[in-house]
Amino acid sequence: MLSVSDFESLLGRSESAILDFKESFYDFDNDSDKSVTSKFVKDIISFSNTIRKENAYIIFGIKELEDGKLELVGIDNRYDDAILQDKIKDKVISRPIFSYYTINYSNNLFGIIELPIWKYEMPIMPSINTLKGLTQGKVYYRNGSSNTEANAIDIIRINDWLRSLESTNNVCSKHDHISKFLIDLTKAEEKLSVVVSQMLAFAKQYDLKELTEFCEVEISGIKSNTPEKFQYRSQIVHISYNKIEINPYSIINVTAQTLKNEFEKNDEFFDFKIIIHHSLINIENFLEKFSGQTDTSFATMKTDSKTVLDMEKNYDLYVYFFYDNFINLYKNIRQKAIDLLMKI
């Protein structure tokens, strides 16, 4: 947070890649087309990605006159840091580190967004395509006193700069943890069960109840009978009272698509939407078993008509899963984890 003397020092400097003066605050009250939100998000992204040796600042309540002098007009403060954090949290990846506060100076109130130098894993980018002037996956930075879209060489230089930074954040903030998890989830280089286990420790540390429940369910599997809570785990499968056996010595090459075609033609097999209760580790084990045999393998689960169809009489029932059921389920769980993190 700036001291009064530091604030005075900034007033003696010109606008640059790390300093911006604005006469008024972002007018979020008149933002029906989200153009104000877009400008705010672009400012935060651009300053965060700018190669620099010191913190960057956006100062509100200062009018720059034609002769270059500054007029201290001040602002009416109606926003706080939490509101700004909420406005950006689901629109970018990684989560940028910044703070908003106010300072009283010369009988006026001024707003300050302060952006520290932070060692992000990659440049910050928009994660959505619904804000005018921002494109999902593009990198923006400050070129002089304006926000600029980075070209390939710019991106390489920004990445090199980020990698060169010392690991200044020994004690990770909540936002830093979230950014790391989002990167891990989107890169998909580590098993989902490992990332979710780490997320569980994080969720308990910050008493994030919804995230804690999600992680515990994914680690242990679904134990309760509340399917409406687990629609992200639903898959269309094939069920039947008949159990099929594949002759391993058959000269006919039985593929997954062959079986699906037979199921569709046979009235004793029918499609059914089911919530899959297996734990993440079990799902990963299924995927490993399918590895290299994605078009020739299927899994069978024995259950009963009372459990699945809520029938009074109980008959053996067989559920047939294919590779795409498990891979789609795995993707859905990953996306659900991302969605929950973005809500924090």
Q: Domain locations in the chain?
A: 4-167, 227-334
Q: Model-level pTM?
A: 0.53
pLDDT at residue number 317: 81
Return the CATH fold of 4-167.
3.30.950
Query: Which pLDDT value is given to residue 251?
Result: 46
Say what the pLDDT of residue 247 is: 45
Q: What is the pLDDT of residue 250?
A: 44
According to the model, what pLDDT value does residue 280 have?
92
pLDDT beneath 70: ranges in the chain: 167-173, 225-227, 244-258, 260-262, 292-299, 301, 305, 307-309
φ, ψ dihedrals at 19, nearest 5°? -145, 130
Say what the pLDDT of residue 171 is: 46
